[in-house]
Amino acid sequence: MYPAENKPANHWFYIPIQSVAVFFCVYFYFHLPKSGKALLLLGGIAAVMMLMDMRPLHKGIYTAIILGLVLTENHALDKERADFAREEGNRRREENDRFQSIADGIQATIANSDKQFATTMGRTNQILQNVTGGDSFGFVVPQPWGEQIPLLVWNHGKQPLTGVMITIARTQEPDWGSAFYRPIFIGTIGPQDHAPVPGFLLPRPDAKSGQDHYWIMIAAQNGTVSQSLYFRKNQKGTVPWAYSYSVSRPITLNKAKGPIPKGATIMEQLLTRHWSDEVDEPH
């Protein structure tokens, strides 16, 4: 005879435990907990099932509860990962926005500094041009009202010319080169302004060409220019003399110009005045 099998006691206290567990399963479904809480409850349910005997009905209920808690825990883990990824993305976007804002600020500062530097350099260049004379140059203009001709030195430019000195050599004189050792000091001439030259010229045309020629050097702070000045009798007879001139200065070539090699010095034409009794031109 086999001993009679003992059936597990009813254990009425399973009902409130299971009721509480079911409540949490339902609550967690609508209010997802942080990961670990469902796992903690799951551990407690598993411990009860292992330590105590129970009827199959209770085992089934506990199994359903365990399955619900496992799904809840898995859902909680997935949600936390998604929340972390979203927060990390937001954090990175905020950092990128801050970095971009900083970069934009730096770029704006650099642009403003460049603008201020360019403005400062523009002012500095203007000051330097005013001091040195920039591209301005002087030229001599005769005033042929009578036999003796006074001269004016004009400033062709937007910057003042300082330290202006001129030399005038009549090239038909045997010792015309000595005139370059007798400079005439003029001083400062403002932009587009003029100054008188002490003394007068008395042209004496060559019998063959009918012209008289003067070589004039005009020196200033920014360099020296050369002027060829010609006189002949005025063909219209309104005034005694007609004149023409050309002004040039030496420049060094930065690159070859035809057969002329780089580094050579040539004369650059700056200004030309045709015969005053033939063409009506300024000065």
The string of pLDDT tens digits covering residues 181-228 is 999 999 999 999 999 999 999 999 998 999 999 999 999 988 999 999
- In this predicted structure, the answer to whether residue 28 has a pLDDT above a threshold of 70 is no
The string of pLDDT tens digits covering residues 165-176 is 999 999 999 999
Judge whether 154 and 141 are in contact, CB under 8 Å: yes
The string of pLDDT tens digits covering residues 44-88 is 666 555 545 566 666 666 667 666 666 676 676 777 777 778 888
**Element (H or E) spanning 150, and its range?**
strand 149-156
More confidently predicted of 136 and 48: 136
Q: Residue 87 has what pLDDT?
A: 85
Cα three-residue angle 103-109-114, rounded to 5 degrees: 125
Q: What is the pTM of this model?
A: 0.58
Q: Residue 236 has what pLDDT?
A: 86
DSSP structure class, residue 102: H
